[in-house]
Amino acid sequence: MAETRQRDASRVSQSLDDIRQASEALLAEGAADPGSVWRSPALVTAGADGAPQARTVVLRRFEAGERFLEVHADARSAKIGELATRPDAGLHGWDAARQVQLRLTGRASLHRTGPVADAAWAALRPQSRATYDVLPGPGTVIASPERTSHVGEEARGAFCVIRLAYTTLEYLHLGKDGHRRARFTWSGGALVSDWLVP
């Protein structure tokens, strides 16, 4: 399976449509397979001072048909405040085995309550839920690494789903016989597919 996808994602004779579908398959693999390199892309936001902020996240869900992906975060973390102020966000991943880079951009919505958050929380394993069971919140300066204390039932209140509705997906493949770069842009429901100079 992995070898088939590897061939598909790096075949130089692919059409733009093939490339889009292969890119979507990589992201779907990341959401489904904890061992996939696409499991841990970088989420990029605009920091409070406007400077870019990138951090590794776990890709929890990917829906190609609806063009969104989801990651989970602590609602007290800096990225949530950044996205609340400016919802423009990006996702970046590099697959060295397949020699494929993907870059996505779009707008993020934050879900602390409601059906999106409830469904994600219900599906989380206890050890993942425990990540949110901590005081004070992530990023707080502490006197020593052992200073954080657990708070039990507070964890659900700190849980937040970030849903990135992406409007651009850019693919770059580094091939022995030439590089390939393609960009897919959705605007008003219409898809524009372009080859770009790598």
Contact residues toward ligand FMN (CB under 6 A) are 40, 53, 55-58, 71-74, 77-79, 138-139
Residues 94-120: b if buried by 16+ CB within 10 A, e if exposed = bbeebbbbbbbbbebebbeeeebbeeb
> Least distance to ligand FMN from the beta carbon of 38, Å?
12
Chain-centre distance for alpha carbon 131: 18
> Least distance to ligand FMN from the beta carbon of 61, Å?
11
- The label of the residue with tokens 């590794």 reads 56
Q: Taking the CA atoms of 26, 30, 31 and 34 in sequence, report the sign of the dihedral they define.
A: positive
Q: What are phi and psi of 181, to 5 degrees?
A: -135, 135
| Cβ proximity to ligand FMN, 57 vs 120, nearer residue | 57
Residue 87 half-sphere exposure, CB side, CA atoms within 13 Å?
A: 13
> Least distance to ligand FMN from the beta carbon of 66, Å?
20
> Least distance to ligand FMN from the beta carbon of 198, Å?
28
> Least distance to ligand FMN from the beta carbon of 92, Å?
13
- Tell me how crowded residue 139 is: count the other CB atoms within 10 A of its CB: 11
| Cβ proximity to ligand FMN, 41 vs 106, nearer residue | 41
| Cβ proximity to ligand FMN, 39 vs 180, nearer residue | 39
| Cβ proximity to ligand FMN, 57 vs 110, nearer residue | 57
d(CA 1, CA 118): 32
| Cβ proximity to ligand FMN, 39 vs 173, nearer residue | 39
Residues 6+ apart with CB under 8 A from 6: 97, 98
